[in-house]
Chains A and B, each alone.
Chain A
Amino acid sequence: MKRKFVTFSRIINTGVVNFIRNAWLAIAAMAVMVVTLTTVLLSLLANTTFNYTISQITSKIDVSVYLKDTVTDQQRSKLMTELKELPNTESVKFVSKEEVLKKYMEDNAGNAELLSAVSQTDNPLPATIQIKPRDLNKLEEIKQYLTKSDVAALQSDQPSYSGDRKEAIDKITHATNILQKVGIIAVLIFAVISVLIIFNTIQMAIFNRRDELTIMRLLGASTWYIRGPFVVESILYGIISAVASVLLINSAFVAARSTLEATSLGLLDINYSAEYFREHFWTLLLLQLGVGILIGAASSTVATQRYLKFKTHK
């Protein structure tokens, strides 16, 4: 037990010493690892932000049913009850003529021409029932109900399905899917590159110390006693790169906040990304550490594999 501990601490110690000695060689390995981990983090943040944007827009989508002025309160409440009972209905809300007018005037506050067309006494705008659907892709059912002749008779106009917004949502969803794929591919490519470069770095470190390793082998050093320091060394690459990538992203957000007055770049709500990053800082750092350590440990284990084999052929 004590021997195991002594050996373990020697492995760690040797690994750290070798890391310091190899610092210049290690910089290339760490640089590419930082790129990899930053890509991982960026795709993650972009993905979360896009999903957030989609849910934001989706929550604003509804079906508007425009009522004739002649519709009685009784007819209206019957219609609303029936609409509520449809399985795809999340909620139903009534907006009176006055409220619609108020909203219209607010929305067009700067446009005198449009405002002059309406007034309190002469309100051409219809009272509206807003239906919030559960699933945007299953509007057919609501549509069917609304086109039934008795229901259609109560309406002053064709219901609006927020058709343009739905199209926009489909576009964002599509873009997010592509982004996800691009993100995964980019992460994989960079991961492979960093594995190869770390692999190479460790191979060079092995080459520099080949005499020592041969002697260790001949003196009966166990496989892990020889391999351990290299694994420790490349795990250190991983840890440093993970911290560096998280700091990099963090300072990018800080810079973005101070330089960009309008932080919303179209679909990418940078404010949300930054907030998400801050809120999940430790989880993300842990994730980055995990990925970094995994890449480091895996590549150095493979790099030392060939060198540590005993002769097996007779």
Chain B
Amino acid sequence: MILLDRVTKKYGRVATPALDRISLHVEPKEFVIVVGQSGAGKSTLLKLLTREERQTSGKIIIGGIDYDKLKDKDIPLLRRKIGVVFQDFKLLPNRTVFENVAFALEIVGMGNREIRHTVPKVLDIVNLKGKEKRMPLELSGGERQRVAIARAIVRQPKILIADEPTGNLDPKHAWDVISVLEKINRYGTTVLLTTHNQEIVNKLKRRVVTIQHGQIVSDRAKAAYNL
């Protein structure tokens, strides 16, 4: 599903690369946690996957798409296949919960009737039923993050990338978010989660990839937090 082969990313003329020959293979329906301290290269890794940045060298293949052969006009199509949850939510503040989720469907040209039918189902999955008409600022951090997750999964992507979705949340809300991610994973979506929350990593007992100074220092199944 996700294949990285000796991927290196250098920013500008900075001598030390943000990512240094990273190789990673993620199977379909896997749940992978990427851990590492700030500046280790986690965010760079995710930005390469969503093609916000281009790798300096190495190969990236996701769902059969070779990023080197990807044309600019196909980048939107790629992004439609990958759901992304951002640490800062990236919700539109002047639109309701419903509209924020519907936004992702409008972009791909879905008709209004179909949107009205689809969005409530997804809001139900993330336990936000009844909050369709709220504005993002009226919600708690955890609820906002679940709106973001709803938006990321409403197009039923094969891959969900979540960049520190619990970073700004207190433990209770963090767990709400994590359990939603697990639920989505059970439905068959490959989940790639970055975090530096030790407790979450230890309790989830999933595959853990540890990044340090731009390199993968460990990659273990059902591992615990180990930095």
- Listed in ascending order, the chain A residues whose CB lies under 8 Å from chain B are 2-4, 6-7, 10, 211-212, 214-216, 218-223, 225, 310-314
Contacts and interface: CB of A to CB of B under 8 A. Distances in A.
Interface of B: 50-57, 72-73, 75-80, 84, 86, 90, 92, 103-104, 106-112, 151
Contact of A314 (B51, B56, B79): B56
A223 B77 CA distance: 11
B92 A215 contact: yes
Contacts of A314: 54-57
Nearest to A310: B72
A162 to B, nearest CB: 68
A9 to B, nearest CB: 10
Given A310-B72, A312-B72, A314-B54, A220 B90 contact: no
Contacts of B106: 10
A6 B109 contact: yes
Given A310-B72, A312-B72, A220 B55 contact: no
Contact of A310 (B75, B84, B86, B107): B75
A214 B90 CA distance: 9
A311 B107 contact: no
Contacts of A219: 79-80, 103-104, 107, 151
B52 A311 contact: yes
B109 A218 contact: no
A2 B151 CA distance: 23
A310 B76 CA distance: 10
A218 B90 contact: yes
Contacts of B107: 216, 219-222, 225
Given A219-B79, A311-B52, A3 B72 contact: no
A212 to B, nearest CB: 6
A218 B75 contact: no
Question: Of residues B55, B57, B73, B109, which shows the largest number of chain A Cβ atoms within 10 Å of its Cβ?
Answer: B109
A212 B56 contact: no
B76 A220 contact: yes
Contacts of B72: 310, 312
Contacts of A220: 75-80, 107-108
Nearest to A5: B109
B111 A6 contact: yes
Given A310-B72, A314-B55, A218 B110 contact: no
Contacts of B53: 311
B16 to A, nearest CB: 16
Contacts of A221: 76, 107
A4 B111 CA distance: 10
A6 B107 CA distance: 10
Nearest to A216: B107
10 contacts: A3-B108, A3-B109, A10-B109, A216-B103, A218-B90, A220-B79, A222-B76, A222-B107, A312-B54, A314-B54
Contacts of A212: 92
A221 B107 CA distance: 5
B150 to A, nearest CB: 13
Pick the 8 closest A-B CB pairs, nearest first. A220-B79, A3-B109, A220-B80, A7-B109, A221-B107, A220-B76, A222-B76, A314-B56
B26 to A, nearest CB: 21
A193 to B, nearest CB: 32
Given A311-B54, A313-B54, A2 B92 contact: no
A212 B106 CA distance: 14
A314 B17 CA distance: 12
Given A3-B108, A218-B79, A219-B79, 6 more contacts: A216-B103, A216-B107, A219-B151, A220-B107, A221-B76, A310-B51
A305 to B, nearest CB: 12
Nearest to A14: B106
Nearest to A214: B90
